[in-house]
Amino acid sequence: VALPAGGVARRSRELAGQMRAIPISKERHQMLAQAQIEEFHRNCFLTVPGLFSAQEVATLRADLDTDMQETGPFVIREGKSDIVRAVYAPHQRRRSYADLVTDARLLGAVQQMQAGGLYLYQLKVNTKLPFIGEDWAWHYDYAVWGAVDGLARPDLISVAVFLDDVTEFNGPMVFVPGSHRIYQDRPLSGVGGHKAHVEPDDFAPTTAEMQAMVNDSGLVAPKGKAGSVLFFNASVVHGSATNISPFSRRLAIVTYNAVDNLPAPGRQRADYIVCPPTAALTVRQPAPRQPEAVA
């Protein structure tokens, strides 16, 4: 078939033009649709079901089980008991948690939500065990991180990876949607001198403030299967109830901070609670596929 003169050249010029129109970047991954990003900015949280496979969740659970046997200041107990409430910084000890930090499904998505470089601020698992996992008081995270660590801005996004099915029974996180719009101007009381884990109780809104916010905006408790992911910003009011069910509710929570939003001088807490600043993280390329087993 004879092509019209110049046809191939024209077609390749068109292709080159189309390719230039598609932004190509090694660091920015299109994990989320525009509608999801808009939902996140409107509500301050976003749930994405089914991001991690059963196999990946099993590995994270197994590594947590190992980590929960450790003794160290990074294991937080319920009250004065020896029941584990939270484990901080498993990424410092377990490969599967280290890998989460630069996983495209977390970091790539958060990069779409917040411009600028990000570093890891905190990584923990809140274990909320069957029958005994205690509540978390109402708070927004920047109330703590602004007052305790002296961060200048609430430019942090947390990602909770569900290690269990989260249901109405096992103490899901509960949010006041869009509460940053109502609540962000509350002055931060300067509570200093913390070296380790801070419980949010001292940073809770008053009951009158909670009543007004909930009258205005209601409450939402995102639920989903293990392997689902919940993004939330540092300004949204949240809390969760005691787990009276026979089901555990383990959440691995990875928090990213803007690289230019550092703890105030002299206020850097222990590095298992607030990670030392690093250069901006980049998304880890997916591991090469294992070759198929030959039968």
Q: Give dist(CA 127, CA 76) in Å, integer.
A: 10
Task: Give, as ranges, the residues between 146 and 175 that touch ligand SIN (CB under 6 A).
Answer: 173
Contact partner at residue 56 from ligand HL5, Mn ion, ligand SIN, none, CB < 5 to 8 Å by partner kind: none
One of 197, 225, 267, 284 touching ligand HL5 (CB under 6 A): 197
The reply to whether 136 sits near ligand SIN by the rule CB under 6 A is yes
The reply to whether 141 sits near Mn ion by the rule CB under 5 A is yes
Contact partner at residue 111 from ligand SIN, ligand HL5, Mn ion, none, CB < 5 to 8 Å by partner kind: none
State CA 164 to chain mean position distance. 16
Q: Which is nearer to ligand SIN, 14 or 135 (CB)?
A: 135
The reply to whether 198 sits near ligand HL5 by the rule CB under 6 A is yes
Neighbours of 83 (CB within 10 A): 14
151, 244 contact by CB (below 8 A):
no
The reply to whether 253 sits near ligand SIN by the rule CB under 6 A is yes
Cross-strand pairs, 77: 84
Size of the site for ligand SIN (CB under 6 A): 7
Measured from the CB of residue 112, what is the shortest distance to ligand HL5 in angstroms? Answer: 23
**x/- map, 153-182, ligand HL5, by CB under 6 A:** ------------------------------
Measured from the CB of residue 200, what is the shortest distance to ligand HL5 in angstroms? Answer: 4
The reply to whether 233 sits near ligand SIN by the rule CB under 6 A is no
The 3-state DSSP composition of the chain as helix, strand, coil percent (nearest 5) reads 30, 20, 55
Measured from the CB of residue 143, what is the shortest distance to ligand SIN in angstroms? Answer: 11
Measured from the CB of residue 7, what is the shortest distance to ligand SIN in angstroms? Answer: 60
Q: Give dist(CA 126, CA 227) in Å, integer.
A: 15
DSSP string, 98-148: HHHHT-IIIIIHHHHHS-S-EEEEEEEEE---TTTPPPEEEE-HHHHHHHT
The reply to whether 273 sits near ligand HL5 by the rule CB under 6 A is yes
Give the CA count within 13 Å in the CB-facing half-sphere of 136: 23
Measured from the CB of residue 295, what is the shortest distance to ligand HL5 in angstroms? Answer: 49
Q: Give dist(CA 123, CA 120) in Å, integer.
A: 8
